[in-house]
Structure 1
Amino acid sequence: MPAPTLFDYTDHSPYSNPGNHAGYFAELSTDPEALHRFACTAVVHYRAGGPALTEAQKADPDRRWLSSILDAAESRAPLDGPRTQAQQVAGCCRDHTLLTLGVLRTHDVPARSRIGFATYFTPGWHADHVVGERWDGSRWVRYDPELDQADFDFDVHDMPTGPASPFVTAAEAWLAIRAGTADPATFGVGPDLPEDVRGRDFVRSYVLYEVAHRHRDELLLWDLWGPQLGTRFVREAAGGQAAAWVRDAGLPGADMSDAEFDAVADELAYLLVAADAGDGEAADQLAELYREDARLHPGERVLTLSPTGHGGVTDLAAR
């Protein structure tokens, strides 16, 4: 099975489709600074900066479909006007990026999201993060739609790439950890948060997210499937209830051992890095693995363990 083409990246995924807001998106600018302003006007980060969320906003982070994010935003204020924090949709980096993918793809600009870790939020820390990439006609240009250029000493609309860049992909981080050249204790959601949202196994899990997003399955960062379901984090989540949800739903992949998951993450990470370097054969092999192995791609159902406190099996087909 071949890797996604540039044409595929101009087509909306179920997640990036703006639905009945497509006409409005067709009028928006694809200028990087305009995309930044639009994304950060529509969505406020649910956690960064400690915003006081309204009751309506507390459930927002679980809006995985762009059409749902836009419906909520429009119900609170006109999409083309200013809005107060209370009128924004509470989300995260994944949602800021998804908004820009929706605009770019509406304008037939190939665009995709990338999963990894940013070094530019907290010194010495690799914060889990989602950024975007757009095709400029000759190469993929990486950008962070959350960032204000005035606050950073690198081009936030054309970020350097590679292991030494400000944003390290999940694959690059995993391979560095496996090689002993990166400290896994410096990767995760936050240095002061519980161990289940930082460290080696957390990075390994993000390799699976990176593969999914590369293939236009832009799931939430708390949707879990495949080998993620057999991790200690899931076994202990919700007082042990999460493991029962997985078992009762018959979700595949939960029986994969840690050693098997390590080996799978190794292979996926090597293929991701090779594909980024322009190896078309590696990109095709990655796509085939992802699509053919039911444990590696989300099916119609995933386990959701949300920071909002919501937990359970989500039916993606039912929307």
Structure 2
Amino acid sequence: MRETSAVAVIDHATHTAYSDPGRFAALLEAVPSELDALSTVVRNVIVHYRASDHVLPADTVRDIHSRWVARSLELDQQRHPAQLAETREPTTKVQGCCRDHTLLSVAILRQHGIPARSRIGFADYFADGWHHDHVVPEVWTGDRWLRFDPEVAAPTPLLVDPRDILAGKGFHTAAEVWRGHRAGTLDAETYGVDPSLPVARGAWMVRNYVVLEVAHRFGDELLLWDNWGTMSGRGSGDQDADLIDEVADLLVAADNGDLAAEQRLLELYRADGRLHPGDEVLRVDLPEQELVPDSLIRAPEPVSRRPCSR
């Protein structure tokens, strides 16, 4: 799967500032690029901070703000100075979420010279009748983008093959959901973090995730609780709706192979401050739920932005 020529307007085989492992590159090179093995390692390093079967320590919950792969690997190596495949106890793993499982997967693939990217959307294979906000990786196989979920170890009744999630079969991009909401063909109130959290669902969240989706597509793989530009809170689902409509349409067209649409999307993203973050975002400081400024330029160590090894 060592294909480096993906159908895209940017090079997804090259590390971003977020996926660059820095001084931990050798750790990623030691991980196989085969998806089952890779996913096992990713689950071994990252534990979901609120969806684990274990009671996780409160003093490591702020691991979830580790926006750089290099920082997550630094935390891991402080606790386990060993190869990433060596078993970690769940309570000592780096706490994170689907975004962190995905970014580590993408970083491993890029380190092997394989184009990979993260996708923001909603999954309906965790619970009947509910669409959980979710992030999954895509890898270029040489002829298509293959979507997979490293968090899911084996097939389930709702997810036939976690290593090959077909378009429209269990995972729906934020752009697709927004378009469905605007067309009146779906209920946005069934899309969100969890059915028990009415404050984190609905049209406002879907529109924010469209902005996140375009950011991740073009290498700004930000946290799910980062806020910038046109992002807003509950009750503001129609803010800049025309802009979100255009972005969603371009994302869907780009997914269908329209490179002109993807180029237009990239130009729009880079030019419009409502879409593109500057040097600072407002981050929700979980678990306190307070908005705090957070810099996007303070990497944990110098970031090379170099191409991955081939």
Q: TM-score, normalization: structure 2?
A: 0.89
Of residues 179, 184, 201 in structure 2, which corresponds to 1:180? Answer: 184
Deviation at 1:216, TM superposition (A): 1.0
Are the equivalent residues in 2 in contact too, given 1:72–1:89 (CA < 8 A)? yes
Pairwise mapping of residues 163-174 of structure 1 onto structure 2 (< 5 A)?
A: 165-174=169-178
Task: Provide Cα deviations, 1:133-178, integer angstroms capped at 9, x if missing partner.
Answer: 000011111111111224354221111103xx20000000000011
Q: Which residue of 2 aligns with 1:311?
A: 291
Instruction: Supply the RMSD in Å over aligned alpha carbons.
Output: 1.9
Q: How far, CA to CA, are the matches of 2:175 and 2:101 in structure 1?
A: 22
Q: How far, CA to CA, are the matches of 2:45 and 2:29 in structure 1?
A: 17
Q: How far, CA to CA, are the matches of 1:181 and 1:318 in structure 2?
A: 42
Of residues 148, 152, 160 in structure 2, which corresponds to 1:143? Answer: 148
Task: Provide Cα deviations, 1:275-310, integer angstroms capped at 9, x if missing partner.
Answer: 000111111110010001122111100000133325
Matched, 1:194 2:198: yes
Using a 3 Å threshold, how does the CA distance of structure 1 residues 200 and 259 change in structure 2: closer, same or farther? Answer: closer
Task: Provide Cα deviations, 1:162-197, integer angstroms capped at 9, x if missing partner.
Answer: 3xx2000000000001101001110000111132x1
Pairwise mapping of residues 160-309 of structure 1 onto structure 2 (< 5 A)?
A: 160-162=166-168, 165-195=169-199, 197-228=200-231, 231-233=232-234, 259-309=238-288
The DSSP-based 3-state class of the residue aligned with 1:109 is coil
The DSSP-based 3-state class of the residue aligned with 2:26 is helix
Task: Give, as a single letter, the amino acid of the residue that structure 2 aligns with 1:191.
Answer: P
Are the equivalent residues in 2 in contact too, given 1:171–1:270 (CA < 8 A)? yes
Q: How far, CA to CA, are the matches of 2:293 and 2:101 in structure 1?
A: 25
Matched, 1:133 2:112: no
Are the equivalent residues in 1 in contact too, given 2:204–2:233 (CA < 8 A)? no
Q: How far, CA to CA, are the matches of 1:213 and 1:43 in structure 2?
A: 20
Are the equivalent residues in 2 in contact too, given 1:53–1:86 (CA < 8 A)? yes
Are the equivalent residues in 1 in contact too, given 2:155–2:161 (CA < 8 A)? no
Indicate the percent of aligned positions where both proteins have the same amino acid: 45
Are the equivalent residues in 1 in contact too, given 2:8–2:262 (CA < 8 A)? no
Q: How many residues align?
A: 290
Q: How far, CA to CA, are the matches of 1:313 and 1:150 in structure 2?
A: 40
Q: How far, CA to CA, are the matches of 1:174 and 1:274 in structure 2?
A: 14
Are the equivalent residues in 2 in contact too, given 1:7–1:110 (CA < 8 A)? no
Are the equivalent residues in 2 in contact too, given 1:143–1:158 (CA < 8 A)? yes
Are the equivalent residues in 1 in contact too, given 2:8–2:259 (CA < 8 A)? no
Q: Which residue of 1 aligns with 2:107?
A: 102
Of residues 112, 119, 122 in structure 1, which corresponds to 2:117? Answer: 112
Q: Which residue of 2 aligns with 1:83?
A: 88
Matched, 1:17 2:25: no
Using a 3 Å threshold, how does the CA distance of structure 1 residues 7 and 108 change in structure 2: closer, same or farther? Answer: farther
Q: How far, CA to CA, are the matches of 1:37 and 1:6 in structure 2?
A: 31
Select the structure that is richer in helix.
1
Task: Provide Cα deviations, 1:255-291, integer angstroms capped at 9, x if missing partner.
Answer: xx86552111111000000000011111111001000
Deviation at 1:313, TM superposition (A): 0.6
Deviation at 1:28, TM superposition (A): 1.4
Instruction: Give unmatched runs, 5+ long, in structure 2.
Output: 1-5, 300-310
Which structure has more relative contact order (CA 8 Å, sep 6+)? It is: 2
Instruction: Give unmatched runs, 5+ long, in structure 1.
Output: 235-256
Matched, 1:65 2:68: yes
Are the equivalent residues in 1 in contact too, given 2:148–2:163 (CA < 8 A)? yes
Are the equivalent residues in 1 in contact too, given 2:285–2:292 (CA < 8 A)? no
Q: How far, CA to CA, are the matches of 2:254 and 2:42 in structure 1?
A: 28
Q: How far, CA to CA, are the matches of 1:224 and 1:4 in structure 2?
A: 30
Are the equivalent residues in 1 in contact too, given 2:204–2:234 (CA < 8 A)? no
Q: Which residue of 2 aligns with 1:251?
A: none
Q: Greater shift after overlay, 214-223 or 309-318?
A: 309-318
